[in-house]
């Protein structure tokens, strides 16, 4: 008796869906392994190698290794076991990376050159989170993609050494991985710009003053340029330009928009080779053989300098259709041409090999990681502060603009109870970015305080064996109120921190006060229109219930405080005053007052500073009322009067000096390691203006109270913020209200070494 199996409708649907999935997977594999011309990738490899050779001495810091990587400084590695090598060995690491860039450019020992560039690059990148940015992260990703792909199949010295790969096909996934990554940079940047602060124009301000917007200034105000051209247009550009580049009909328009966009960025920001790298990457979206089409139009007498212009030869890394394998190879013309290109009779593969599967698996892993990593902050909660994660791999380019009003580091001896105040940035080497980034990320704050505690123990004159460090940081995000970033009553040295748990001692951003920004701008405009507006600074402050703010007012300032929301109690001259909403009070000069937040909700107030010194100094007064008379304005005018030849000569000389210093520093460092070569003695110290923060020496590190109070003011006598930082590295000036008391005992830590 035969048993009949009942077939259900569900079973009938499963088989076709499985077949459909297999067919789709097979077609996807066939497309990714299909052959493509290598010339497009070859040109990108050459351009990227050139750009990295320029980038390494400058933005990678090869010309300032001693300043950046002194072993006795505090650093911010991604993993604490990573530590910088000695200065001499850091020179060796940089030289290896530079040689790798040269090898990538020439296509010489290509895989080895990629490894020589990639490993030192990622080592230096992971060694210091404080200098991360998106394009530095992108360069590291490009180095990985170069290693995985066959960019040396065209216009390379390896092609001369090995005719088998010369002008040989590359699989299409080589192009797909680059196109995917560049598309992701644009698209994720657009997704991140859907942030409310960006869409309302608070992320980046002041860019309208740049000369690149001069053509729009005749019919748009500065505020309109900032909102519509910078923010709204930037949002739509990032969201859609990737799609414009993918589709052939819109590709030309996408390339033109991108050239204009990156050209403007190169003039507005100091971002090294990023703009030019992105311009070079646009060609990857063009046809695979566009370089051959252009080179074929050159005169015949230039043929000696051009690579092969013939059709690409078969390659073992590609998958060919059965029809391609059945082509007759007895055609003498075709066979001679292919033998000329490959050095052997072509063997077209029509079966997926193990190497194909491994490379496709790596391709899939890379795509998955890059899609997931920018949104992985729910796992790495310890790196989250007011923003999610570290700045660099999230593609949230220029979405967050910071200004730092005040940083105070108080060290309490756990044995005696005595306290000293440490200069913020002590034992941090390198440039301005290192000094400004650490105080906005809890992981870097923890690393710095731990390192600082060890340095304090080593200072015998301080006589502190068990330091407890309390940090008070006042910051503003995207033009909000200045507020505390972390709890000032927590000893950061012993405070818990984990990369996978939320940091409990970071205070939340007072986002409920964000609607106040329009009113704050109106108050500033109203004050600026007064007769003393040019000599007045306004600072808006918010604080949490139960906390207090100690603020010293310099003698040259005529200061008042006005409560905008909540209730505060002010203690000054041994008297207490309670102020509610819209109540105002004059504050005594040359004295410290304390503001207590006594309301149940956060309190907001504003300081209005009238600088009487500026009003009395005729020179400074003229600089403020007529900015064109300032020395900086005169220098700018002198630069504009110079001819293009003079500007190019000065630019070339500046770059020559950077590369010259890089070469000689590396020469003596490696010579010292290998042969004991001594460094030459200089009669005078020579400094390179690379934007680094000047380091104090033993002679000037201990600043007196009066000196430090005046140092908090600007060179022209105006009150300025002690630190400022934005993610786009734009300078900002704020009124400094959170100065230390003149009567507090101060102790600053000098650097243990002078500049070499």
Q: State the pLDDT at residue 699.
A: 28
Alpha-carbon 219 to chain mean position? 33
Parallel, antiparallel, or unpaired for β 467-477 and 402-413?
Answer: antiparallel
Q: State the Cα–Cα distance between residues 444 and 226, nearest whole angstrom.
A: 32
Q: Who has greater pLDDT, 139 or 701?
A: 139
Asked if residue 673 has pLDDT above 80, the reply is yes
Least confident of 39-53, 134-148, 342-356: 342-356
Q: Which CATH class name applies to 517-625?
A: mainly beta
Integer-rounded Cα Rg, in Å, for the chain is 31
- Please state the φ and ψ torsions of residue 558, each to the nearest 5 degrees: -100, 110
Residues 201-217 have a mean pLDDT of 90
Residue-averaged pLDDT of the chain: 83
314 in Cβ contact with 35 (< 8 Å): yes
Name residues whose C-beta falls within 8 Å of residue 527's C-beta, 6 or more positions apart in sequence.
533, 536, 538, 608
Q: Is the pLDDT of residue 698 over 80?
A: no
pLDDT digit string, tens, across residues 174-207:
999 999 999 999 999 999 999 999 999 999 888 9
User: How confident is the model over 636-667, as pLDDT tens digits?
Assistant: 888 888 889 998 999 899 999 999 999 999 99
Burial class (CB in 10 A: 0-12, 13-18, 19+), 640: exposed
Beta strand 467-477 with 483-484: parallel, antiparallel or unpaired? antiparallel
pLDDT at 534: 83
| CA–CA dist 711, 703 (Å, integer) | 9
Of 287, 291, 400, the C-alpha closest to 46 is 291
For the chain, what percentages of helix, strand and coil (3-state, to nearest 5) are there?
Answer: 50, 15, 40
Q: What is the pLDDT of residue 734?
A: 28
Least-confidence region, from 498-507, 544-553, 612-621, 713-722: 713-722
Among residues 479, 571, 542, 567, the alpha carbon closest in space to that of 737 is found at: 542
Distance CA 51, CA 104 (A): 11
DSSP type of residue 629: G
Question: What is the Cα–Cα distance from 172 to 319, expressed in whole angstroms?
Answer: 10
pLDDT band at 347 (very low <50, low <70, confident <90, very high): low
Q: How confident is the model at residue 443 (pLDDT cuts 50, 70, 90)?
A: very high
* Percent of the chain whose pLDDT exceeds 70: 84
The pLDDT assigned to 682 comes to: 58
CA-CA-CA-CA torsion sign (730, 733, 734, 737): positive
pLDDT digits (tens, 9 = 90+) for 277-320: 999 999 999 999 999 999 888 887 776 667 788 899 999 899 98
pLDDT for 629 beyond 60: yes
pLDDT of residue 345: 46
Q: Cβ distance 90 to 120 under 8 Å?
A: no
Q: pLDDT at position 738, please?
A: 28
How long, in residues, is the chain? Answer: 756
Which pTM does this prediction carry? 0.85
Q: What is the pLDDT, as a whole number, of residue 393?
A: 85
Convert the pLDDT of each residue in 711-741 to its tens digit: 233 322 222 333 333 333 333 322 322 233 3
| Other CB atoms within 10 Å distance of the CB of residue 534 | 16
Render pLDDT for 372-410 as a digit per residue (tens, 0 to 9): 999 999 999 999 999 988 877 889 888 999 898 889 999
Q: What is the pLDDT of residue 332?
A: 40
Query: Cα-flanking dihedrals φ and ψ of residue 403, to 5°?
Result: -135, 130
Q: Predicted confidence band at 431 (pLDDT cuts at 50, 70, 90)?
A: confident
Q: Where are the domains of the chain?
A: 37-66+76-170+288-300+307-322, 401-509, 517-625, 627-678
| pLDDT for position 614 | 82
Q: Any idea what the Cα angle at residue 33 is, between residues 27 and 39, rounded to 5°?
A: 135
pLDDT value for 617 = 83
- pLDDT, residue 471, reads 95
Alpha-carbon gap, residue 712 to 732, rounded angstroms: 15
Instruction: State the pLDDT confidence band at 350, using cuts at 50, 70 and 90.
Output: confident
Q: Give the 3-state secondary structure of 455-475.
A: HHHHCCCCCCCCEEEEEEEEE
Give the pLDDT mean for 607-620. 86
* CA atoms lying within 13 Å on the CB side of residue 572: 23
Binned at pLDDT 50, 70 and 90, residue 678 comes out as confident
* Active-site entry in 129, 172, 193, 740: 193
What pLDDT is stored for residue 697 in this prediction? 32
* Environment class of 174 (CB within 10 Å of its CB; exposed 0-12, middle 13-18, buried 19+): buried
Listing DSSP states for 59-97 in one string gives TT-GGGHHHH--TTS----SSTT-----HHHHHHHHHHH
pLDDT digits (tens, 9 = 90+) for 495-513: 999 999 999 999 999 999 9
| CA nearest to 204, candidates 230, 186, 184, 173 | 230
- Residue ranges of alpha helices (H) inside 680-722 are 705-711
What is the pLDDT at residue 325?
Answer: 53
Predicted local confidence at residue 131, as pLDDT: 87
Whether the CB-CB separation of 561 and 584 falls below 8 Å is answered with: yes
Interatomic CA distance for residues 152 and 162, integer angstroms:
11
Q: What pLDDT is attached to residue 329?
A: 43
Residue 642 catalytic?
no
Query: Are the C-beta atoms of residues 698 and 750 closer than 8 Å to each other?
Result: yes
């Amino acid at each position: 008796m035969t048993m009949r199996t009942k077939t259900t409708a569900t079973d009938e649907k499963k088989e076709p869906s499985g077949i459909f999935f297999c067919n789709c997977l097979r077609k996807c594999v066939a497309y990714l392994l299909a052959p493509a011309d290598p010339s497009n990738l070859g040109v990108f490899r050459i351009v990227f190698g050139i750009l990295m050779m320029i980038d390494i001495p400058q933005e990678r810091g090869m010309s300032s290794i001693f300043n950046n990587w002194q072993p006795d400084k505090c650093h911010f590695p991604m993993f604490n076991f990573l530590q910088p090598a000695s200065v001499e060995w850091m020179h060796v690491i940089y030289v290896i990376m530079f040689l790798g860039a040269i090898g990538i450019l020439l296509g010489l020992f290509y895989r080895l050159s990629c490894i020589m560039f990639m490993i030192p690059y990622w080592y230096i990148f992971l060694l210091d989170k404080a200098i991360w940015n998106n394009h530095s992260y992108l360069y590291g990703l490009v180095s990985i993609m170069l290693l995985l792909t066959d960019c040396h199949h065209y216009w390379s010295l390896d092609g001369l050494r090995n005719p088998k790969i010369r002008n040989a096909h590359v699989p299409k996934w080589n192009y797909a991985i680059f196109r995917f990554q560049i598309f992701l940079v644009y698209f994720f940047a657009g997704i991140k710009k859907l942030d409310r602060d960006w869409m309302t124009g608070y992320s980046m301000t002041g860019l309208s003053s740049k000369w690149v917007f001069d053509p729009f200034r005749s019919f748009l105000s500065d505020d309109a340029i900032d909102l519509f051209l910078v923010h709204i247009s930037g949002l739509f550009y990032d969201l859609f330009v990737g799609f414009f580049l993918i589709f052939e009909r819109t590709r030309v328009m996408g390339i033109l928009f991108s050239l204009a966009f990156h050209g403007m960025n190169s003039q507005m920001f100091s971002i090294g080779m990023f703009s030019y790298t992105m311009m070079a990457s646009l060609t990857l979206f063009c046809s695979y053989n566009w370089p051959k089409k252009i080179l074929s139009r050159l005169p015949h007498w230039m043929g000696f300098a051009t690579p092969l212009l013939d059709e690409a030869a078969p390659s073992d890394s590609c998958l060919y259709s059965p029809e391609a394998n059945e082509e007759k190879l007895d055609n003498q013309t075709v066979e001679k041409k292919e033998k000329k290109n490959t050095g052997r009779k072509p063997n077209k593969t029509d079966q997926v090999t193990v190497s194909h599967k491994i490379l496709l698996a790596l391709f899939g892993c890379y795509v998955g990681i890059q899609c997931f990593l920018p949104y992985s902050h729910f796992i790495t909660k310890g790196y989250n502060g007011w923003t999610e994660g570290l700045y660099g791999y999230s593609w949230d380019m220029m979405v967050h603009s910071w200004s730092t009003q005040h940083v105070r580091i108080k060290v309490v001896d756990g044995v005696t109870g005595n306290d000293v105040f440490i200069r913020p940035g002590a034992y941090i080497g390198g440039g301005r970015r290192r000094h400004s980034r650490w105080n906005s990320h809890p992981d870097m704050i923890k690393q710095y305080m731990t390192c600082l505690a060890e340095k304090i123990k080593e200072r015998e004159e301080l006589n502190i064996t068990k330091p407890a460090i309390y940090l008070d940081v006042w910051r503003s995000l995207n033009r909000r109120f200045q507020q505390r970033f972390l709890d000032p009553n927590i000893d950061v040295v012993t405070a818990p921190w984990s990369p996978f748990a939320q940091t409990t001692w970071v205070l939340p951003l007072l986002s409920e006060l964000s609607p106040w920004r329009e009113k704050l701008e109106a108050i500033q405009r109203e004050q600026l229109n007064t007769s003393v507006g040019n000599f007045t600074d306004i600072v808006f402050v918010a604080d949490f219930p139960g906390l207090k703010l100690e603020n010293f007012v310099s003698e040259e300032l005529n200061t008042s405080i006005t409560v905008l929301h909540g209730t505060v109690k002010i203690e000054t001259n041994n008297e207490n005053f309670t102020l509610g909403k819209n109540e105002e009070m004059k504050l005594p000069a040359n004295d410290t007052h304390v503001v207590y937040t006594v309301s149940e909700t956060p309190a907001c107030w504003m300081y209005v500073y009238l600088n009487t010194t500026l009003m009395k100094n005729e020179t400074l007064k003229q600089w403020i009322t007529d900015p064109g008379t300032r020395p900086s304005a005169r220098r700018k005018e002198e630069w504009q009067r110079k001819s293009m030849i003079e500007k190019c000569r000065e630019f070339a000389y500046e770059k020559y000096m950077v590369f010259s210093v890089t070469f000689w520093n590396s020469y003596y460092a490696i010579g010292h390691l290998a042969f004991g070569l001594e460094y030459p003695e200089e009669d005078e110290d020579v400094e390179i203006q690379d934007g680094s923060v000047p380091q104090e020496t033993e002679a000037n590190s201990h600043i007196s109270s009066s000196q430090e109070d005046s140092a908090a003011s600007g060179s022209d006598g105006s009150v300025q913020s002690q630190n400022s930082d934005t993610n786009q590295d734009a300078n900002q000036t704020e009124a400094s209200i959170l100065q230390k008391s003149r009567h507090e005992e101060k102790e600053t830590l000098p650097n243990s070494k002078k500049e070499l």
